């Protein structure tokens, strides 16, 4: 037995309408179901759940944990400009291969826009001689 994928990602949110506006109208996820305390969205074929939770911590965490959304390379700059134009806050500068934009949602969840795949990342790691990197 083994894990064969990610079923869904759930974000605890403080304000459902504000989060729906962010994820649907700004990021372009597709709303597929909604109730008074939550909603189901699709990012491509990946299921994202929003659930209102009074225990949401609105403080920014200092670690690197984040969720990365894939975009087409031709859409990256346009999407980044759209987010910056909407006042979305960035939390990190990109230091790895490919273009990335690291940003926060309304509740401080760390997100990223990125457009490559694991093969590109592995190739980059090898070409940049990461001293401790091993390919399996």
Across the beta sheet with 38-43, the strand order is 8-13, 46-52, 38-43, 30-35
pLDDT at 112 over 80: yes
Residue-wise pLDDT for 4-18, tens only, equals 888 999 999 999 999
Q: What is the pLDDT of residue 122?
A: 83
Residue-wise pLDDT for 28-57, tens only, equals 999 999 999 999 999 999 999 999 998 887
pLDDT at 130 over 90: no
Q: What are phi and psi of 17, to 5 degrees?
A: -65, -40
Q: Region 51-68: what's the mean pLDDT?
A: 84
| Level-2 CATH architecture, domain 64-136 | Roll (3.10)
Q: What is the pLDDT of residue 25?
A: 97
Residue 41 pairs with which residues in a beta bridge? 31, 48
Identical topology for domains 1-53 and 64-136: yes
Q: Region 99-113: what's the mean pLDDT?
A: 94
Residues 6+ apart with CB under 8 A from 64: 92, 110
Q: What is the pLDDT of residue 124?
A: 79
| Level-2 CATH architecture, domain 1-53 | Roll (3.10)
Domain ranges of the chain: 1-53, 64-136
């Amino acid at each position: 037995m083994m894990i064969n994928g990610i079923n869904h990602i759930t974000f605890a949110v403080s304000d459902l309408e504000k989060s729906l506006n962010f994820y649907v109208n700004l990021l372009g996820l597709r709303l597929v179901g909604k109730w008074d305390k939550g909603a189901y969205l699709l990012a491509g074929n990946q299921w994202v759940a929003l659930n209102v939770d009074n225990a949401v911590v609105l403080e920014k965490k200092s670690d690197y944990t984040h969720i990365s959304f894939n975009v087409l390379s031709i859409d990256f700059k346009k999407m980044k400009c759209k987010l910056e134009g909407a006042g979305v806050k960035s939390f990190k500068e990109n230091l790895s291969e490919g273009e990335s934009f690291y940003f926060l949602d309304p509740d401080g969840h760390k997100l990223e826009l990125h457009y490559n795949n694991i093969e590109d990342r592995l190739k980059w790691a090898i070409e940049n001689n990461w001293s401790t990197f091993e390919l399996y």
